[in-house]
Structure 1
Amino acid sequence: MFTSCNYLDVKPVGKVIPEKVTEFRALITSGYTAVSGYKYLLALRADEVIPSGSAYAYPRLIDFAIWNDNSVNMEESYPWGTPYKVIFYANSVIDDVMNADIDTEDDSREQILGEAYLLRAYMHFDLLNLYGKPYNPSTAETDQGIPLATQIDIEQAYSPSTVKEVYDQIFEDIAAANEVLTVDEQPASTLYRFSKKSAKAFEARVRLYHQEWENAMNLAEGLLSSSPLEDLTSADFTEPYNINSKEAILCLEEWGDNDMTSYTELLPSLIEKYDAVNDLRFNLYFTSKNDKYVPTKGGPNSNYKVSIRSSEIYLIAAEAAAHVDGKLDQAKDRLKELIKVRLQPDYYEERAAEIDQMTAEELLVEIANERARELALEGGHRWFDLRRTDRPEIVKVYTTDQGEQDRQVLSKDDSRYTIAFPKEATESNPNLHN
């Protein structure tokens, strides 16, 4: 599914050079379309699901779940060439769009340019969180990141930049986008495109990962008034992760897959985080089957393409504020505002009272658990959260396709919290080393 590239194995054969604004819009749309839906694989890698031993897909999925990267059994891999292909489209737009002939009043060179900067930043951010070392402010200047691709140079052999250099480029691209974007918020029909609102939401996520707590908090707080939450206690709500939800901010990539809902079962580590009776997400996300719990959230539904939604903004606001002196009560308020529309009313009152008594350290643990509950199976969030925080030990006990019990362990701070560069990438580029 995902192939490697030497800047991508992208060749400008038969290339039609865009000259008009509408042609550059078509070009950046090709970039959006090329974004791959791979993040269900990260739910396998995290402590959320395991392939069912009885599933025919078990042999091709189990290596993802037990951190066996570059296994010969893998029919697919985490993306490498595809994100760089998207970056190729973005770079093509960045290089030339401001020279485009204006042939429409419904779009602008500036808006397309801003979207291209953000799409490039989004892809670099994804790649960094797959293949780069987790951000550590004391070692980021030397930790290996991923190759940065900011120019169209087919012949260049790309070497990994440091984690700091990658973040610097991401922030530079976000700043460049903010200078030129003209659309405040995209209509429902084009929520896959970036806007001023989704740019701020994306930046809030990046600042959180970069441990810029006050910046992340301020960005998230600035979005709350325009980020409504679905109320699961009401009779009329849309799945918060559905593109038709009022929570949707950016709808860029499919994160669900038939493999998720047909061939996996939940791990106890995920089930135990919920009150199955009083947490209204439990029966929305999961169902019981043959004495096991299996996902219903994240199936092969093209409506499951929400990359950023309101719930995440509340969680960013809460986590970031919990790190800022004098903002503990604000952090608690943001968390309570989210769970009020996720829990049965009586249970909410009980949980709210418990949250009110928490220290900052206790609250951060609770926010991490709430992220696991709210964003379960979605967008790779759990895996990315595990690796950006304390990288704990993960133990998976499961039944194999031979009916035997197996036990696999990812140790605390295990090197496999950073995914190895794909074999086909290292073979084609001597500058890539795991």
Structure 2
Amino acid sequence: MRNIYIALISLLLFSCESFVEETPKGNLIPETIDDLGMILDAFDPYDDNAITYSHANSILMSDDSRLPDIVASGVSSAGQNSYVWADHLYETTSDDRDWTGFYHVIYLCNYILENIDNAPEGDGVYARNFVKGNALINRANSLFVLVNLYGKHFDANTSSTDLGVPMPLESDINLTYARSTVKEVYDQVRQDLEEAAELLSNAADYTFQGTKPAAFGLLARLYLYQGNYKKAWEYAEKVRTMMPELMDYNTIGQETPGQPDFGITNWPPFSGWEKPDVIFYKWESDFSSQYYVSDDLLAIMDQSSDLRFKNFFTDYKYNSFDLDPNGYRCSDIADFNRGISLGEVVLTEAEAKLRDNDVNGALVALNAVRAKRYVTGTPEITETNPDALLQLILDERRRETLFKGLRWFDLKRLNKDPKTAKTINRTLFGESYTLEPGSKRYILPIPRKVIELNSLIEQNPR
């Protein structure tokens, strides 16, 4: 495959420097449909132009994670700062990987969208609608993650004035932008996804490529976070009609009992985009060796019948049969897709139907997931009390989306309701830390390096 080159600088849209550089010998400025399509297939996380970039720091922030001191000693300062919800995660002169990573993806998508309609045909490897639809769905995903990291949770009463994130829709990185509102970003995400759904087909060769079910799955997520529950379950249902059934975890098992690091039978060993139930793949951009499971999460796992625990959790050291003094971790053989997976979509349907007063529909969706995630013969959930059933669904969602990048966003939205709000306590290196519901620290600080370069961007209060 030819190497497509796009001249970029580290801060992309927020630098005053010119982005025009000499094209390196042997590389190409993308011009044809095929050239633009190749950008979208840069899925390798070690590729500077990886379109599959996804967020990292929020994993350590959530109540799913535990960072033992001995492990923390080998973690970056940004990782340690994330774990204790520090005022700032990065040094003044350092790049925030999530900010730069997602704006990099947005730049690539904007470049494609500006050129795709008039691009000449190549060798016919990529279709015009496929390339345009993929640029739209990837831009939408990036904006959605950014606004949920650096903005408040969507609130219909305040979203039109709550500050979100800058929303560049052009590839000219010499332009500067102020922060759009949360509502403006959500509206753009919805618009991009709806247009992408019209352009994309029902299936693609690889899960890192956009499809109609992927667009619908992201729309279901968006509407759930907006509190538009009817639309959330409607889109979730659309996804289910277009996808195979969830994989039955009763069909997999550890090749070496007790140690999933040595492999899982009937399970892809390495490539995350090949894992079952993945609809739209985004790679984990942090280190899975840090994925020690919190006591709070372990307390809601049925260790005797939950096949996620039985197959993917271990209290052995990595690739060893020596007991790990740090406790349980989730093996990196598990699925950590940060994009859209079918299990999340079905549980979105369950939660949205319950909140839309369809208790029976919620139970059907919830038990559809449980039938594939628990030992055969595990009783179905029959709870009909709305509050109790909601907690069961939220607990199942937490287990199903473990270390997939959603828990931090879920905590933000659930903290809006006193019934589901929670306080998180933890210690690191002998110091105690507490995160209260509604804390300003649920909204990440804008990187100070970005603030210095662009005076239009207002910092989040700490």
TM-score above 0.5, yes or no: yes
SS of residue matched to 1:345: coil
Deviation at 1:245, TM superposition (A): 3.1
Relative distance call for 1:239 and 1:310 in structure 2 (3 A) is farther
Deviation at 1:363, TM superposition (A): 1.8
Within 5 Å, give how 1:108-127 maps onto structure 2: 108-127=127-146
SS of residue matched to 1:233: helix
- Give the letter for the 1:14 counterpart: E
Deviation at 1:223, TM superposition (A): 1.8
Q: Is the Cα contact below 8 Å between 2:415 and 2:422 reproduced in 1?
A: no
Relative distance call for 1:389 and 1:35 in structure 2 (3 A) is farther
SS of residue matched to 1:396: strand
TM-score (norm 2): 0.82
Residue matched to 1:27: 39
Matched, 1:397 2:431: no
2:277 corresponds to which of 247, 266, 272: 247
SS of residue matched to 1:57: coil
Deviation at 1:100, TM superposition (A): 1.5
Identity of aligned residues (%): 24
Residue matched to 2:385: 359
1-structure distance, mates of 2:422, 2:39: 44
2-structure distance, mates of 1:256, 1:18: 26
- Give the letter for the 1:135 counterpart: F
Deviation at 1:409, TM superposition (A): 0.3
1:295 corresponds to which of 329, 338, 345: 329
Residue matched to 2:370: 339
1:62 corresponds to which of 56, 77, 80: 80
Within 5 Å, give how 1:66-85 maps onto structure 2: 66-71=84-89, 77-85=96-104
SS of residue matched to 1:254: coil
Q: Deviations over 1:40-89 (max 9, x none)?
A: 42221000123221133156232111101425679774511221111111
2-structure distance, mates of 1:58, 1:19: 41
Residue matched to 2:167: 148
2:69 corresponds to which of 53, 63, 69: 53
Relative distance call for 1:10 and 1:372 in structure 2 (3 A) is farther
- Give the letter for the 2:38 counterpart: A
Residue matched to 2:177: 158
SS of residue matched to 1:407: strand
Matched, 1:231 2:239: no
Residue matched to 1:269: 296
Residue matched to 1:283: 310
Q: Is the Cα contact below 8 Å between 2:95 and 2:449 reproduced in 1?
A: no
Relative distance call for 1:19 and 1:291 in structure 2 (3 A) is closer
2-structure distance, mates of 1:166, 1:59: 31
- Give the letter for the 1:296 counterpart: C
Q: Deviations over 1:100-132 (max 9, x none)?
A: 112333421122111111111111111111101
- Give the letter for the 2:342 counterpart: S
Residue matched to 1:180: 199
Relative distance call for 1:205 and 1:432 in structure 2 (3 A) is same
1-structure distance, mates of 2:75, 2:32: 49
Relative distance call for 1:358 and 1:293 in structure 2 (3 A) is farther
2-structure distance, mates of 1:24, 1:272: 48
Matched, 1:323 2:351: no
Deviation at 1:360, TM superposition (A): 2.1
1:18 corresponds to which of 30, 41, 63: 30
Within 5 Å, give how 1:365-404 maps onto structure 2: 365-378=391-404, 380-390=405-415, 392-398=421-427, 400=429, 404=430
SS of residue matched to 1:409: strand
Matched, 1:131 2:150: yes
Q: Is the Cα contact below 8 Å between 2:43 and 2:208 reproduced in 1?
A: no
Residue matched to 2:262: none
Q: Is the Cα contact below 8 Å between 1:198 and 1:250 reproduced in 2?
A: yes
List runs of 5+ in structure 1 lacking aligned partners.
none
SS of residue matched to 1:93: helix
Range that drifts further, 42-51 or 328-337: 42-51
Deviation at 1:256, TM superposition (A): 6.0
Deviation at 1:186, TM superposition (A): 0.8
1-structure distance, mates of 2:279, 2:33: 25
1:428 corresponds to which of 453, 456, 460: 453
SS of residue matched to 1:112: helix
Q: Is the Cα contact below 8 Å between 1:204 and 1:217 reproduced in 2?
A: yes
2-structure distance, mates of 1:40, 1:113: 27
Aligned residues: 414
Deviation at 1:162, TM superposition (A): 0.6
- Give the letter for the 2:209 counterpart: R
